[in-house]
Structure 1
C-alpha cells in the first residue's frame, strides 16, 4: 500500500461532502428562481425590489423627523381607541409626551 495514498474512507467522505455542497447550490438556485417568479407575478422587478423597499421605508413616516406633540397625542389616542394600549399605558405615555415640551 502506498503511504501517500489517501485512506479509502476519504473517497466516501469526499463524495458525500461534494454531494451535499452540490445539493445546497441547487437548493439556493431553486429558491432564488421561485422568489423571482413570485415577485414578477406580483408586478415587481426582482432585481430592484430591495431598492424599492428601502426607498419606501425611508420615505415612510417610520423614519420621519420628530412629529409634533399634537401628532404624537393624536396617535396615542388612536392606539387607545383601537384597544391596542390600555388606560395606564395611555396615561404614562401621554405624561411622557407632555413632559417633553
Structure 2
C-alpha cells in the first residue's frame, strides 16, 4: 500500500505472534495432560515417575561396573577349561558367586 509504514503492520504482527504463543501453550498443556493420563492408566504416579525410574535404575545392576554373575561364571568356566584353575578352585569360585545372588 502506498504510504504504509511499519507502524501500520505492528498490530497485525503482534496478533500473529500472540497466536503462535497461544498455539504452543495449548499444545504444551494437551501434551502434559495426555502423558499424565497414560501414566495413570499404566498404574504409575506421574508426579513421582522420574524418581521411581531413577531408584529402580540405581538399585539394578545396569550401572554396575562389575560384570554380571552370568559373565563371571562364564569367565571361571573358561579359566577351568584352559587349565588356569583347578576343578576345586572352580567349584569354590562358583559357590562364592552363587552365594552373592
Residues 1:55 and 2:64 aligned together:
no
Q: Computing the radius of gyration over CA atoms, which structure comes out larger, 1 or 2? A: 2
Gaps of 5+ in 1: 1-5, 76-101
Q: How does 1:11-90 map onto structure 2 within 5 Å?
A: 11-67=11-67, 71-72=71-72, 74=74
Partners of 2:53 and 2:68 in 1: CA distance: 26
Q: TM-score, normalised by structure 2?
A: 0.60
Report the CA distance shift for 1:69/1:31 in structure 2 as closer, same or farther (over 3 A): closer
Provide Cα deviations, 1:3-27, integer angstroms capped at 9, x if missing partner: xxx7011111110000100110110
* 1:55 shift after superposition: 0.8
* 1:69 shift after superposition: 8.7
In the other structure, the counterpart of 2:98 is none
Q: TM-score, normalised by structure 1?
A: 0.60
Partners of 2:40 and 2:9 in 1: CA distance: 47
The runs of at least 4 aligned residues of structure 1 exceeding 6 Å deviation read none
Number of aligned positions between the proteins: 71
Report the CA distance shift for 1:71/1:18 in structure 2 as closer, same or farther (over 3 A): same
- SS of the counterpart of 1:24? helix
- SS of the counterpart of 2:66? coil
Partners of 1:56 and 1:63 in 2: CA distance: 11
The CA RMSD measured in Å over matched residues stands at 2.6
